[in-house]
Amino acid sequence: MKRKVLVLSMVMAVTQLTFGQTLTTNSGAPVGDNQNSKTIGQDGQVLLEDIHLIEKLAAFDRERIPERVVHARGTGAFGEFVAVADFSDVTKADFLNKAGKKTPLLVRFSTVTHQAGSPETYRDPRGFAVKFYTEQGNYDLVGNNLPVFFIRDAMKFPDMVHAFKPSPITNGASDPNRVFDFFSNIPESTHMLTWLFSDYGIPANFRQMEGNGVHAYKWVNAKGEVTYVKYKWVPQQEMRNLSQAEANAIQSTQIEHATLDLRNEIEKGNFPKWDLYVQMLKKEDFIALDFNAVDPTKIWPEKIAKLIKVGTMTLNQNPTNYFQQIEQAAFSPAILVPGIEPSEDKLLQGRLFSYSDTQRHRLGGNFQQIPVNMPKNGVNTYNENGYMSLRPQTGDVNYQPSTNKPEVKEDAKFKYSKSGFVTVTTAQSKISKPNDFAQAGDLYRSFSKKDQDALIYNLSGALKQVKNKVVVAKMIAHFYQADREYGMRLAKELNMDRKELESLMMQ
């Protein structure tokens, strides 16, 4: 009898877990907001005291070992960056303080959502991560080929990746039913989905694609003056994408065409090059915009922020050991140098924690001592011990301050910049001026007739696989709000008339 009671109790517990109405933390506390991080005011920095966000990201970072949770399929090469001018009037970053200054670097290209060994022809954003080995430490510029992203708050990132990853029941490939079920409830994704389902969603290879920092960052000069910037890598090689048919043809014979293309071209001496550009805005410029300037689902139109060339990157050396130099390469937007700081972007703020935390889980707490991740200028720190600690450490004093010997001291000129916030309340809310659809419509209208046709073909083909017609109707509504023709063409391709759409939207 006791055994039956125990089994019944377990069944009830599982039932409550499965069918309960309140989302909880891992410790069972109810969650009040699973969509918005806690910030300083509506548009300020994310607070470390948001324990639900930290727990959610930390749990997500540890889901899979040993391959990366995202960006698992990748390749890379070494090279150099040459600055085109002195930018010390806007940033203290030393690698940008002199025209002609050379900085060694490593680049890793990748697909985002699929596993190691997956085809490089999948429709997927491409990671574009650059590690600058500067004279004042490493600087990681971690971005994608596309200029925007699906979401604007790191709170949603684990859920988004779960939707892209295989079903926990079938373990099958990425399922449009799951993907669009998620995005039908995320209107801010409309802009990125328009990019992804155009031919930009399948770059021809890694050499002939753009790179984007996606997020806004702060450049800070020696006076403490802040300029907000966005980064763009423009290939000197002709940019080229694949149609779905071209991608299918390549995939039928090889799955690592982009990796081999990069390696073979470098071996032949055809060193690929990219020019790095930035756009600049001051905080006071934000007021006139009809969108939030640090929203990663938005671009900065060139009419409001022109592109300024910063320098040129050349990749001229292939790795000699893939595992040691590429698989163990660890990138994080938190790896910054004086003169470059994160903006208040809520997705970026979460990535500052999540990426480094992932590397500590994947490679160990001393991942920065792995040769490919080591700065060229040396390290002076009292951080010590842990798995695989190789940094020379001598003497009795491993703390600071100390009067027992000449200290390794901080330098006040490298303090973080001041944030211009007055007394405010904390909040969990959407950002100001979300404007979810306007830039998606602008992008659709900027496409040629051929590119619009490809977008409709690719997107309708994916939506035809979605069984829940309410999800399909919600997606069409998003694209319709971006551009009337855009939405109507999709509805026509999916054989859904206005009456049916209205009925489904009422459900």
Catalytic residues: 71, 144
Continuous segment of H or E residues that includes residue 219: strand 217-220
Query: What is the DSSP secondary-structure string of 143-174?
Result: EESSSS-S-S-GGGHHHHHHHHSPPTTT--S-
User: What secondary structure letter does DSSP report for 113?
Assistant: S
User: What secondary structure letter does DSSP report for 401?
Assistant: S
- Tokens representing residue 326 in the block: 């590429």
How far apart (Å, rounded) are the C-alpha atoms in residues 75 and 255?
13
User: What secondary structure letter does DSSP report for 255?
Assistant: S
Contacts of 121 (CB under 8 A, 6+ apart): 202, 242, 247, 248, 250, 251, 255, 257
Contacts of 11 (CB under 8 A, 6+ apart): none
How far apart (Å, rounded) are the C-alpha atoms in residues 63 and 442?
38
Tokens 């390794």 belong to 408
- Tokens representing residue 364 in the block: 């160990």
Sign of the CA dihedral running 152, 203, 217, 447:
negative
b/e per residue, 338-366, with b = 16+ CB within 10 A? bbbbbbbbbbbbbbbbbbbbbbbbbbbeb
From the CA atom positions of the chain, what is the Rg in Å?
A: 24
How far apart (Å, rounded) are the C-alpha atoms in residues 233 and 364?
31
User: Is 355 marked as binding a ligand?
Assistant: yes
- Tokens representing residue 140 in the block: 């990681």
Q: At what angle do helices 438-446 and 484-493 cross, to 10 degrees?
A: 80
Q: How far is CA 469 from CA 94, 175, 194, 386, 489, in A?
A: 55, 15, 20, 52, 17
Tokens 């430490």 belong to 137
How far apart (Å, rounded) are the C-alpha atoms in residues 201 and 178?
19
- Give the 3-state DSSP-derived string for 422-446, with helices as H, strands as E and coil as C: CCCCEEECCCCCCCCCHHHHHHHHH
Residues annotated within the binding site are: 355
Residues annotated within the binding site for heme are: 355
